[in-house]
Amino acid sequence: MIASIAFGVLAVVLLASALAVVLTRNLFHSVLYLALSLTATAGVFLSLDAEFLAAIQLLLYAGGVVTIVVFAIVVTERLVGDRISQTSRQLGAGFGIAGALLVAILAIFRRSPLPIPRPAVSGDLTRAIGQSLLTTYVLPFELLGVLFLAALVGALYFARPDD
Amino acid sequence: MTLQAYLTLAAMLFCIGLFGVLTRRNTIGILLGIELMLNAVNINLVAFARFLGDVSGMVFTVFTICITVAEVALGLALVILIYRVRRTAVADHLDLLRG
């Protein structure tokens, strides 16, 4: 009972803040709403017993990504404000495409219901994630380090001062 | 909560993000929409991992979160670079390759 109330509150906060992200005219407010929706997603992860992922979500997304985006906005908008219209004229077309996709996905869900019961948590999920990362998925894990190095060098290269 | 509820929530979030990507004019706004879409994918991965009792989905979520962070850092570096060259961050103004 408490779980479904918590899920409902989380879902409402998540969807409302996501709508605010795409609809608000001020880009700066949009980023703050994005931080709220990312935090709500961390709550959804918690409701799925994935505490480790909720922590990563808060650290990397709500902490890191939002900070980077705020810096990018400060650099690229000379005055943070809503003097430039942020949405295009094709609101109707965008709404049509996104709505059609949603209807299609929900229709597929309706045709093939997934009556999977929720199994009990078996052991420590964080421990299982760590063991899986360093055994089965150790190669992608190492490649991730290479990717981060490449991304870091690339970002530094692009953002270097003019000489 | 059922798996269906989580999947429906993720589908709605994905479509909201797609709407943002399609309608935003500012490139940073488009990146924010992509963030929302990737977030929806993460919810799907974690929900399936939890309901199927397989931890692989959660490991993949770790990967997608990390790749997203790298993508955002690189994407914003590109936006800043484009802004420095063209003095604009609006996607409609970036029509250098238009014939």
ipTM: 0.88
Q: Which residues of A touch B31 (CB under 8 A)?
A: 69
Give the tens place of pLDDT for each residue, B76-93: 888 888 888 777 777 777
Domain boundary among A30, A63, A81: A81
Domain boundary among A81, A100, A133: A81
Q: What is the 3-state secondary structure (H, E, C) of chain A?
A: CHHHHHHHHHHHHHHHHHHHHHHCCCHHHHHHHHHHHHHHHHHHHHHCCCHHHHHHHHHHHHHHHHHHHHHHHHHHCCCCCCCCCCECCCHHHHHHHHHHHHHHHHHHHHHCCCCCCCCCCCCCHHHHHHHHHHCCCHHHHHHHHHHHHHHHHHHHHHCCCCC
- Is the pLDDT confidence value at A59 over 80? yes
Percent of chain A with pLDDT over 90: 34
What amino acid is encoded at A43 in this protein?
G
> Please, which pLDDT band fits residue B4 given cuts at 50, 70 and 90?
confident
Give the tens place of pLDDT for each residue, A103-139: 999 898 888 777 677 777 777 888 888 898 899 999 9
In a domain, A130, yes or no: yes
Percent of chain B with pLDDT over 90: 32
* A77 and A127 housed in the same domain: no
* A5 and A57 housed in the same domain: yes
Percent of chain B with pLDDT over 70: 99
In a domain, A107, yes or no: no
Q: What is the pLDDT of residue A88?
A: 65
Domain boundary among A52, A81, A110: A81
In a domain, A143, yes or no: yes
Structural domains in chain B?
3-91 (1.10.287.3510)
CATH number at residue A36: 1.20.120.1200
Instruction: Please give the Cα distance from A48 to A31 (Å, whole number).
Output: 26
Tell me whether residues A116 and B52 touch, CB distance under 8 A.
Answer: yes
Q: What is the pLDDT of residue A86?
A: 59
* A77 and A6 housed in the same domain: yes
Tell me whether residues B23 and A38 touch, CB distance under 8 A.
Answer: no
Owning domain of residue A60 = 1-81
* A76 and A127 housed in the same domain: no
In a domain, A134, yes or no: yes
Overall number of domains in chain A: 2
Tell me whether residues A37 and B8 touch, CB distance under 8 A.
Answer: no
> Please, which pLDDT band fits residue A78 given cuts at 50, 70 and 90?
low
In a domain, A101, yes or no: no
Q: Are A35 and A68 in contact (CB under 8 A)?
A: no
In chain B, positions 33-92, which contact chain A (CB-CB < 8 Å)?
33, 35-36, 39, 42-43, 46-47, 49-53, 55-56, 58-59, 61-63, 65-74, 76-81, 83-84, 89-90, 92
Q: Bigger pLDDT: A118 or A40?
A: A40
* A6 and A74 housed in the same domain: yes
A-chain residue closest to B84, CA distance: A76
Neighbours of A156 (CB within 10 A): 11
In a domain, A30, yes or no: yes
pTM of the entire predicted model: 0.88
Q: What is the pLDDT of residue B93?
A: 75
* A74 and A13 housed in the same domain: yes
In chain A, positions 39-98, which contact chain B (CB-CB < 8 Å)?
41, 44-45, 47-50, 52-53, 56-57, 60-61, 64-65, 68-69, 71-73, 75-77, 84-88, 90-91, 93-95, 97-98
- Shortest Cα distance from B73 to chain A (angstroms)? 7
Q: What is the pLDDT of residue A110?
A: 83
In a domain, A70, yes or no: yes
Mean pLDDT of B37-57: 90
In a domain, A59, yes or no: yes
